Amino acid sequence: MKKSEWMSKRELINAYVGLGSNQGELRLQLEAAILSLSGLPDTMLVGQSSLYRSSPFQADGPDYLNAVVHLQTRLNACDLLHAFQDIENCAGRERPYINAPRTLDIDLLLYGDGIIQSPWLQVPHPRLRDRAFVLLPLHEIAPQWVAEAELLKVKDQAICRLE
- Residue numbers annotated as active site: 93, 102, 105, 107
What is the gyration radius of the CA atoms in the chain, in angstroms?
A: 15
Closest CA to 161 of 45, 68, 62: 68
What φ, ψ does residue 72 adopt, rounded to 5°? Answer: -115, 130
Residue 131: CB atoms within 10 A of its CB come to: 21
